[in-house]
Amino acid sequence: MRNDLSVAFAGVSGAGSVLRSSEPVSPSPVASHAASLLEEAADLLVVHMDFASAVDRCEKGCESLLGELESEDSGSSEELRCSLCVVGIQALAEMNRWREVLPWVLQYYQVPAYLPPKLLELCILLHSKVKEPHVMLDIGSDWLRASANQHLPTYGLLVQLHLFHVLLPLGHFAEAQEMVEGCKALSKEQRLEALRIVREKRQQWLQQTKEHPDAEVRAEIAWKTQLGSVSQKVLTILAQLGRVLGSLAGQFSSMPYKTALLAAFMLFLIVVKLDPASPTSLPFIYRLTQLFHQARSAVFSPHYRPPV
């Protein structure tokens, strides 16, 4: 996706500036290590185009900051985590692994409403570019409804991005009109222009419906909207499961064999039952399969392993 995501490189180029402008005079050893990983990840991404290694450095940086983020003075750590995620998003997109972006980011933010504006912006533009706006429907709406986000300087920009890249492409005209009319972050001129575009898109939608009443595109849009509503309700659960998997991987050696096998198998069933067809489930299903095979190998000898 190298030539398809021009927006992401803007985020990467800004990652270093965020770090330089806000770096404290005496950073903690953890923050210094994370900053070093950020610089290394950006270099791997832009110069060496080693995208997998860039993601690896971003993950190590985010994980190293977990303790720092719980301290009282965590402003610089928050900025570092955001910059690491910006680089990680671009690296995943370059490998055409955009379906993993949201679960990967939510490993470090847990709740969609806590996403920094820059990360939400990148996710909206990314899924718009790959023509999958339904993936951001619930996440964008939840973020915009959070009262803490409505006072941010970039709130108006995120409203417009959600409007033009998510709601209107999906045909959510009533929700779009209501959001614009109630948004105090937009100027009067911006609201009038946005409402004009909503009316224009609605008319185009109705005209297309009249001309092609049985068009497959209507069924596809309806399916995508429904999929987005269902899959995003379990996305946070899947992200939290990702953290559990990481801890379980190192515990199989100390867990009783039967308990380890049962744990991996039950987690596998939970994910598949929640949303078996969702693209967001795929990384977790793959990881669970690895853990299940690991536990199975520990429990049974090669001659008596049950088939999977």
Q: Give the SS3 label for residue 228.
A: helix
% of the chain surpassing 90 pLDDT: 48
Give the confidence band of 281 by pLDDT, cuts at 50, 70, 90. very low
Largest pairwise CA distance in the chain: 74
The per-residue pLDDT for range 165-214, each reduced to its tens digit, is 999 999 999 999 999 999 999 999 999 999 999 999 999 988 877 776 55
- The listed range with the strongest mean pLDDT (25-29, 157-161, 171-175, 275-279) is 157-161
* Residue 237: burial class (beta carbons within 10 Å; 0-12, 13-18, 19+): middle
- CA pseudo-torsion sign 224, 225, 226, 229: positive
Report pTM: 0.67
pLDDT exceeds cutoff 50 at 277: no
CB atoms within 10 A of CB 127: 24
Least confident window among 10-19, 138-147, 267-276, 283-292 = 10-19
Closest residue by Cα to residue 19 from 103, 82, 69, 70? 82
Burial per residue of 92-101, b for 16 or more beta-carbon CB atoms within 10 angstroms, e otherwise: bbbeebbbbb
The per-residue pLDDT for range 64-97, each reduced to its tens digit, is 998 776 665 667 889 999 999 999 999 999 999 9
Look at the block and give the residue holding tokens 């224009």.
Answer: 200
- CA pseudo-torsion sign 291, 242, 139, 157: negative
Locate the domains of the chain by residue range: 1-110, 124-216, 234-299
- pLDDT given for residue 10 in this prediction: 44
Q: Give the SS3 label for residue 23.
A: coil
Q: Which residue has the higher pLDDT, 219 or 37?
A: 37
* Residue 165: burial class (beta carbons within 10 Å; 0-12, 13-18, 19+): buried
- Percent composition of the chain: helix, strand, coil (DSSP 3-state, to 5): 80, 0, 20
pLDDT exceeds cutoff 70 at 294: no
Q: What is the mean pLDDT of residues 252-275?
A: 54
Closest residue by Cα to residue 135 from 158, 105, 166? 166
Least confident window among 130-139, 209-218, 243-252 = 243-252
And the tokens for 59? 């993950």
Please state, in angstroms and as integers, the Cα–Cα distance from residue 239 to each residue in 46, 102, 104, 110, 273, following that order.
28, 9, 7, 7, 15
- pLDDT given for residue 25 in this prediction: 46
Q: What is the mean pLDDT of residues 275-299?
A: 50
And the tokens for 206? 């109705």
pLDDT exceeds cutoff 90 at 26: no
pLDDT exceeds cutoff 50 at 17: no
Q: Are 90 and 45 in contact (CB under 8 A)?
A: yes
Q: Which residue has the higher pLDDT, 84 or 234?
A: 84
